[in-house]
Structure 1
Amino acid sequence: MRYRCELTLRRAEGALVRVLGTTERRGFRPLSFEGDAPDDGDRWQLRMTVESDRAPAALQGQLAKLYDCLSVEVSPCR
């Protein structure tokens, strides 16, 4: 099943790498990324589509534990 993840990340070195690593280690395959960051802001808005047979709560809970992750929502794709 495919899921869409909406994340707000601190603008920190390695934040995206930590998100990708956690996503893959939890058994979710990243399919696409899209993101933006305001020029004067200290946060990134990241939208990621992933695929897995696992429950989305497994990914959401693990991403929420990351220091760089300020908010995360995982919902099924339509």
Structure 2
Amino acid sequence: KEISEFFAGEDYIFAEGKDNYPSAMVLGVLGQKESVVENINDFIPDYLRLTQAEKQWLDKNSDEKIKYVKKFNDQL
């Protein structure tokens, strides 16, 4: 998706440049708001881009409908 499509129709307020640096306090607050993962093996990350291993796996298994990480976790 294009960035303009992602933000279309929504009102967003962005912080000033100096306030856009990572902050341990903000990370902690965000972590408190998230739900706890009951079983870590059931957690499937949703990254912005695929890892090299996932890309290679998809090249070899393009007909599979299951995600690489899900298939790997099922084997554990």
Determine if the TM-score, normalized by the shorter chain, exceeds 0.5: no
**Higher radius of gyration, 1 or 2:** 2
Larger RCO, structures 1/2 (Cα 8 Å, 6+ apart): 1
Give the TM-score, by structure 1 length.
Answer: 0.18
Report the TM-score, using the length of structure 2 for normalisation: 0.19
Higher strand share: 1
